[in-house]
Amino acid sequence: MKKNPQAFVNQLFVCLLVTMGFGGSLGLGTVWMRHQISATANLNRVLKADWERVERLIDEKKTVIETAQAPEKLRALNSGMRLGLVPMSEVSIVHVTDNTTDRLAARATRDSLIEASGRKSVPIAFKIAKY
């Protein structure tokens, strides 16, 4: 049996074509991956710019609100509009000197007794200001 020298060339040619196709697909995959990385980086840059813009707007609005709620400005508006509002004189802090654990336990017991007795409401007392 004679060996045909063209058969070896055909095998070499097929292997060369397969190698070139595989290398080309790797190259194309690399270019696509770099494109995806670039697109993601651009999107992140745009999102960061939007985030900073929103934070800047929030800070501006906070500043406007704080200047509008300044005590001097509120007093000027009060006198300018003749509203007659007076600043709070009572302090809303209550200092507790007795044992808080006993107080809370008594409150819990009282609440459970009210629920057991079937009463739905608890009497409420209001202090009415005298002018």
Which amino acid is located at 75 in the chain?
Answer: R
Please write down the HEC assignment for all residues of 59-113: HHHHHHHHHHCCHHHHHHHHHHHCCCCCCCCCCCCCCCCCCHHHHHHHHHHHHHH
* C-alpha span between 79 and 72 (Å, rounded): 11
pTM score, whole prediction: 0.47
pLDDT in tens, 16-60: 999 999 999 999 999 999 999 999 999 999 999 999 999 999 999
The residue whose two tokens read 């709620």 is 69
pLDDT digits (tens, 9 = 90+) for 83-116: 888 877 777 777 778 888 888 888 877 766 566 5
Extents of the domains making up the chain = 7-84+93-117
Taking CA atoms, 5 is separated from 10, 16, 47, 74, in Å, by 9, 17, 63, 102
